[in-house]
Amino acid sequence: MIEDLLEEARHKMDQAVEHVAAEFATVRTGRANPQILHRVVVDYYGQPTPLQQLAGLSVPEPRLLVVQPYDRSALPAIERAIQESDLGLNPSNDGSVIRLVFPPLTEERRKELIRVVRHMAEEGRVAVRNIRRHTKQDIEALHGEVSDDDIHRAEKTLQEITDEHIARIDDLLERKEAELLEV
């Protein structure tokens, strides 16, 4: 019973870490990364459609991202959606593909993005701690069914799992900050 609770907590914490990693991937650095466009939604014939369903994305150069629509008639809608997104990119359209040039980040923008990723990491840590708190309550609810020693061991194991996942988030944050500071 306790093992099931701990395994479920580990699984949920893994998902929280994966979510933080996915959030980090959407933060623009000086390099072209197709994942930053995953949040862009295009109004395609009146339907909100994710960009990756409408176009192929490629990175021919480190600072260039090419968006090639499967349907050329969607080109203006895709261009508009990218312009309206908060990515700070200016798309250039040549009639068949959209090119996104990633300008080097200014020092001020780097600091702002570092604040953003630190906030994302803190949200991830809070999510992991909330999972720990709920699991701990579930373990303590087993008080009459299992021994106090088993409960104490389970809580200690739960804390180790929590520390491990928070360390993973901190590691992701450290790497993302290094990537943002890279000129």
E strands present in the chain: 41-44, 47-50, 55-61, 64-69, 91-93, 98-101
CA distance 92 to 101: 8
At 124-165, the pLDDT tens digits run 999 999 999 999 999 999 988 999 999 999 999 999 999 999
- Domain made up of 2-25+106-181: CATH architecture: Orthogonal Bundle (1.10)
Cβ atoms within 10 A of the Cβ of 49, count?
18
The pTM of the full predicted model, rounded to 2 decimals, is 0.74
- Domain made up of 34-101: CATH architecture: 2-Layer Sandwich (3.30)
Give me the residue spans of the domains in the chain: 2-25+106-181, 34-101
At 43-69, the pLDDT tens digits run 988 899 998 899 999 989 888 889 999
CA distance 50 to 52: 6
